[in-house]
Structure 1
Amino acid sequence: MSPRILIFGTGSIGAVYTYVLCRATKPVNVFTVCRSNYDVVSKQGLTLNSTIFGQNLNVRPQVVRTVDEAVAASEGKPFDYVIVTAKAIASTPSIPDQLRPAVSESTTIALIQNGIGIEDIYRSAFPSNPILSCVVYLPATQVRPGTVEHREVELLHIGTYPSTAPSAHKDSADKLAALLHAGGASAEVHDDIQQSRWSKLLVNAAWNPICALSRSRDMQFLQSSPYALDLVKGVMLEIAAVAQASGYPSISSEVVDFQISRATARPLPGVEPSMLADAAAGRNMEVDAIVGNPLRIAEAKGVDTPLLKTVYALLSGLDGSFTRARQSRG
């Protein structure tokens, strides 16, 4: 029987995996929760232009505004997978609370979200369900509602949360990877996914906030002053220290040097991190998932992170300004 899948958050990442999963199963079994792009996607479907998958690819999943609509449209049939591709930002009600109507005792919940320490609220809400923590490398942008441009790379790292989860949960990770492979995507299953999370966070926790605060792409910022490189490297080294204190010694200064060399080799203007795009649009950012959570882990482990504290304070202030601006507009 074809699996039934709910995708929560159909932005750029969610759209690409909607395409992949519609190939792996039947589009009628793939439900996508859309918000700002609902009107377009409900009428025209999702269009993907990809250097890997192809150009002008259109898929027409079941499009809904809310999880409750998805449950009603599924006519009581349970979802085998709930895949969360929404940004890891606190909301009221919380994402787990919004998902609850769609989660049965057999549902696997896959979190394709950035940051560290993002899984606990799902584990608390659904203590018996398989929770799959995923790290994605997928440069994609929704260039207009319902149309996504994707280039260069596509890989999803998957692991259970926690890493000591029962073998049945690890089987769920293997089954999701197989489903993605069937849709033409790449996926790797790990015994401990947190290694991959820290590896990506090393880059994200430095470049995302610094680019958002400076309103600059990465190479633009590096060329802005003689102190720019030291700041970026300093934040990365602090993240590496927290990762090592958390039991991941391979997140080392050598990895920092490698990431710095990658960035400095790019031509101008460089890469636009997601936080920079969010800041330019006045949208709330993943402040706690990417910066606040590692800072709290550092404090618990006794690791000194003065640069990370400074970045967090400034980024929280900027994010708060976006909230106030939105509230003032009503």
Structure 2
Amino acid sequence: MSRVLIFGAGGVGSIYAYILLQGGASVTAVCRSNYETVKRDGFTINSAIWGEGIKILPGVVRTVEEAANTDWDYVVLCSKAMPGASPSTAQVIRPVVGTGTTVVLCQNGIHIEDEYRRVFPGNAIVSAVVYLPVTQIAAGLIKHGNLEILEHGNLEILEVGTYPSDAPAEHKDATVRFAELFRKGKGTIDVFDDIQSRRWNKLIVNGTWNPLCALSRSMDIDLLSASENASEMVFKVKMEIVSIAQAHGYKEIQESNARFLMDRVKGRRPDNGVYPSMVADAVEMRPMEVEAIVGGALKAARERGVGTPFLDLIYVLIKALDNSNRRKRAQT
């Protein structure tokens, strides 16, 4: 039986706990704000594809240190990516990463893997791109998807690959074994030789809607309809991300990718827009994934001399908002 520790047991972490439990793994979740509820009652999942009122009871610990006496096969990170934080998430999870542990990064952003490679140079690192519309609406209570999203595509896809792409064969094998475990739990997962192409494709979404909606406190569809030039501006931001990806050799990331992802939002009903995750973080004055999503893109742009006037401005504004919120939260 595979032993899995999930770090970041919110919406994404709870769904992956469910899938991996279904796949036959022994799963423990590191819970923080929801610890008391999940320890007592487990998670309750209401899913548009799996049904209502699903109860799961994984093992529960409050801290990483409480889980340090187990040899974990996989440590699955479903927390926000915060490059540059001190201590780094890699340092926080060090007590539970043994010589044979595979670290799975179910996190947004670009260039987020480097800090894990530095801390765990000999471990298999699986970089994962998450497509999972899920929210923890109360402690331990999970809402996964809705029927309209289901009509337009899959509600649950995980794309994975090793970091780096030329990792040793045993790291490739570890990635395949994780995918097999995930599929046993009826999860949808695809393995890629170079996952960074898929990260760039996801960044076309995250690098636009997340900061712009957070700054405007808007749902995506409301942002588009707010002014006559909103759609053109959002698309230009997406194309800056396409240009950065292409400059790094990912020629398959093209205007058609940006156009498809733009049209998918335009096709929504006005009453069924989406608040990207960064909006809730901004409203609740929680730390936002500014560096992982926007800062990482700009770093990659500078490496290849790509001009990014829209992303430059977005970064200045969302970074200022994040810093302001952190100061206010520290004062409360």
Taking only the aligned residue pairs, the percentage that are identical comes to 47
TM-score by length of 2: 0.95
Aligned to 1:101: 95
Identify the residue that residue 259 of structure 1 maps to in structure 2: 261
After TM superposition, list the pairs within 5 Å mapping 1:183-262 onto structure 2. 183-262=185-264
Matching residue's letter, 2:32: R
Name stretches of at least 5 consecutive residues in structure 2 with no aligned partner.
none
Query: What TM-score results when the alignment is normalised by the length of structure 1?
Result: 0.96
Tell me the equivalent position of 1:22: 21
Query: 1:97 and 1:280 mapped to 2: Cα distance?
Result: 28
* Alignment length (residue pairs): 322
Shift of 1:93: 2.0
Of 58, 66, 71, the residue aligned with 1:61 is 58
- Give the aligned partner of residue 295 of structure 2: 292
Alignment partners' CA distance in 2, 1:230 and 1:261: 12
SS at match of 1:136: strand
Structure 1 counterpart of 2:196, one-letter code? Q
| TM-fit CA distance, 1:125 | 0.4
One-letter identity of the residue aligned with 1:132:
V
Distance 1:322 1:193 in 2: 33
Shift of 1:227: 1.8
Q: 1:34 aligns with which of 31, 51, 56?
A: 31
- Counterpart secondary structure, 1:249: coil
2:116 to 122, 143, 151: 122
Please report how far the alpha carbon of residue 30 of structure 1 lies from its aligned counterpart in structure 2 after TM superposition. Answer: 1.2
The whole-number CA distance in structure 2 between the counterparts of 1:217 and 1:247 is 33
**Residue 134 of structure 1: aligned partner:** 128
Amino acid of the structure 1 residue aligned with 2:140: G
Query: 8 Å contact 2:7–2:30 — kept in the other structure?
Result: yes
- State the SS of the aligned residue for 1:320: helix
1:230-261 CA distances to partner (integer Å, 9 max, x unpaired)? 21011001000000001111211122222222
**Structure-2 separation of matches of 1:197 and 1:207:** 15
Question: What do residues 254-291 of structure 1 show as CA deviations (whole Å, max 9, x unaligned)?
Answer: 22222222111111141111111211222111001000
Q: How far 1:214 moved relative to its partner? A: 0.6
- Aligned-residue CA RMSD in angstroms? 1.0
Letter in 1 for 2:275: E
Hey, what's the Cα distance between the residues in 1 that align with 2:59 and 2:42?
9
